[in-house]
C-alpha cells in the first residue's frame, strides 16, 4: 500500500512577504507527518504530528499566533476524522489548550465526540494534558492589530484589519497510511476579531473535514460560515463517489462554494485511497504541500 499525505496552511491573500514562512511551515509539517507514515505509523498519528507543528508555528492562524477575538483572547477549534471507522473527535472554543488537535485525536474513541469550552478543558486536564494561560497563545503581531481595532472601534477599521490579516484561515492535513486508512484533521483560531464563542466550519464534520477510507477525504479552509452552508467537505467526497478525479472534485466544489454563497471564498485539499491528491482555491493564494508514494514533495502557494 502506497502512503500519501497532503497539508495546507490556509487559503487567503497571503502577502508576498509571508509566502516563504508559509512554504516553510507546510514543508516542515509534511516532512513530520511523512516520517510517521514511512516508519509504519498510523494516519491518525501522522495528521496529529503535522497539524501540531502548524499549531506551534506562529505563522498560521492555529494554536500559538491565532487571531484574537473581539474580546482580545484566543479561542481555538480542531477536529479529526478516521476514514475506516468514521469516528471523529472535535473541540471548539478552547482557551487553555495549546494543541487542540491532540485533544481532538483523543476524542476519536469517546466517551464524547465533540466537546467545547471549559468542559473540553476539564476533560483535557483529566487526561493529563497540561493547560496553558491564554496569554501564552497570543503573539505581539495579533495583539497590536487588536489594539489598533479597539482604539478605532469602527466597522470600517475592523474590515480593514481583516483584510490585512487575510480574513479567514485554517490549517489541515490528510494522510493515507500503510494499512489503507485515510484520516483528515484540521485546526484554527477562527476569523480575526470574531465574536467570543463563534465557531466556524473547522470542527464540523462534513463541513470543515470528512474522511471515508473507501472513497476519499477532504479538508477545507476559508470563510467558515460559507463553507458550512454548502457542507463543502462532504460535497467533495460526494463528487469523488460519483467518479470525479480528486483534482476535478476539488475544483468543482470550490466553484459551487463561489456560485452558491455570495462572497464564498476558500479552498480545499483532497486525497483518495490510491494516494492521488487534489487541491483548489478561489482566494489569491493557498499554502500547501503534498507527497505520494515514491514521488518527491511538492510545495506551493
pLDDT of 168: 52
Burial class (CB in 10 A: 0-12, 13-18, 19+), 87: middle
**Cα 37 → chain centroid:** 20
CA separation for the pair 110, 114 (Å, rounded): 9
- The DSSP element (H or E) to which 247 belongs, if any, is helix 246-260
Q: Does domain 4-294 have CATH number 2.60.40.10?
A: no
SS3 159: helix
Q: How many residues does the chain have?
A: 301
Burial class (CB in 10 A: 0-12, 13-18, 19+), 2: middle
Q: Name which residue leads in pLDDT, 166 or 195.
A: 195
Cα angle, residue 16 at apex, residues 11 and 18 outer, rounded to 5°: 70
Tell me which of 21-30, 84-93, 166-175, 250-259 is least confident: 166-175
**Cell digits of residue 81:** 476524522
Q: What residues contact residue 111 under an 8 Å CB cut-off, 6+ apart?
A: none
pLDDT of 152: 84
> Which active-site residues does the annotation give?
170
Q: What residues contact residue 231 under an 8 Å CB cut-off, 6+ apart?
A: 206, 207
Tens of pLDDT, residues 191-205? 999 999 999 999 999
Provide the mean pLDDT of the chain: 95
CA separation for the pair 63, 134 (Å, rounded): 10
Give which of 127, 132, 155 is closest to 70, Cα–Cα.
155
Pairing of strands 76-82, 182-188: antiparallel
Question: What percent of the chain is predicted at pLDDT more than 70?
Answer: 95
**pLDDT of 164 higher than 60:** no
Name the β-bridge partners of 209. 205, 219
Q: C-alpha dihedral over 73, 223, 21, 17, to 10 degrees?
A: -100
Q: What residues contact residue 254 under an 8 Å CB cut-off, 6+ apart?
A: 266, 267, 268, 280, 281, 282
Q: What residues contact residue 18 under an 8 Å CB cut-off, 6+ apart?
A: 59
Give which of 104, 97, 100, 156 is closest to 130, Cα–Cα.
97
Taking the domains of the chain in order of start, what are their residue ranges? Answer: 4-294
Give, in order, the Cα–Cα distances in Å from 97 to each of 65, 92, 255.
13, 10, 35
Neighbours of 133 (CB within 10 A): 10
Tens of pLDDT, residues 233-250? 999 999 999 999 999 999
CA atoms within 13 A on the CB side of 73: 14
**pLDDT of 166 higher than 50:** no
Query: pTM higher than 0.75, yes or no?
Result: yes
Sorting pLDDT into bands at 50, 70 and 90, what band is 169?
Answer: confident
Sorting pLDDT into bands at 50, 70 and 90, what band is 153?
Answer: confident
Biggest CA pair distance of the chain: 56
Amino acid at each position: 500500500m502506497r502512503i500519501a499525505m497532503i497539508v495546507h496552511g490556509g487559503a487567503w491573500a497571503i502577502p508576498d512577504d509571508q509566502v516563504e514562512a508559509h512554504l516553510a511551515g507546510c514543508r516542515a509539517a509534511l516532512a513530520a507527518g511523512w516520517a510517521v507514515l514511512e516508519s509504519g505509523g498510523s494516519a491518525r498519528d501522522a495528521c496529529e504530528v503535522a497539524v501540531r507543528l502548524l499549531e506551534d508555528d506562529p505563522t498560521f492562524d492555529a494554536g500559538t499566533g491565532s487571531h484574537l477575538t473581539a474580546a482580545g483572547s484566543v479561542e481555538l477549534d480542531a477536529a479529526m476524522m478516521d476514514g475506516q471507522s468514521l469516528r471523529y473527535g472535535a473541540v471548539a472554543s478552547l482557551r487553555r489548550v495549546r494543541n487542540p488537535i491532540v485533544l481532538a485525536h483523543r476524542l476519536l474513541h469517546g466517551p464524547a465526540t465533540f466537546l467545547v469550552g471549559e468542559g473540553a478543558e476539564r476533560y483535557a486536564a483529566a487526561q493529563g494534558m497540561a493547560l496553558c494561560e491564554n496569554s501564552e497563545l497570543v503573539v505581539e503581531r495579533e495583539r497590536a492589530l487588536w489594539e489598533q481595532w479597539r482604539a478605532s472601534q469602527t466597522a470600517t477599521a475592523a474590515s480593514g484589519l481583516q483584510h490585512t490579516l487575510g480574513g479567514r484561515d485554517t490549517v489541515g492535513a490528510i494522510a493515507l497510511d500503510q494499512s489503507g486508512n485515510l484520516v483528515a484533521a484540521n485546526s484554527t483560531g477562527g476569523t480575526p476579531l470574531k465574536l467570543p464563542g463563534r465557531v466556524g466550519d473547522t470542527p464540523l464534520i462534513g463541513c470543515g473535514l470528512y474522511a471515508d477510507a473507501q472513497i476519499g477525504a477532504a479538508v477545507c479552509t476559508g470563510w467558515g460560515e460559507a463553507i458550512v452552508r454548502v457542507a463543502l467537505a462532504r460535497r467533495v467526497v460526494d463528487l469523488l463517489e460519483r467518479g470525479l478525479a480528486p483534482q476535478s472534485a476539488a475544483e468543482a466544489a470550490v466553484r459551487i462554494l463561489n456560485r452558491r454563497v455570495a462572497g464564498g471564498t476558500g479552498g480545499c485539499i483532497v486525497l483518495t485511497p490510491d494516494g492521488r491528491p487534489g487541491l483548489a482555491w478561489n482566494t489569491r493564494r493557498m499554502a500547501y504541500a503534498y507527497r505520494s508514494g515514491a514521488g518527491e514533495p511538492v510545495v506551493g502557494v
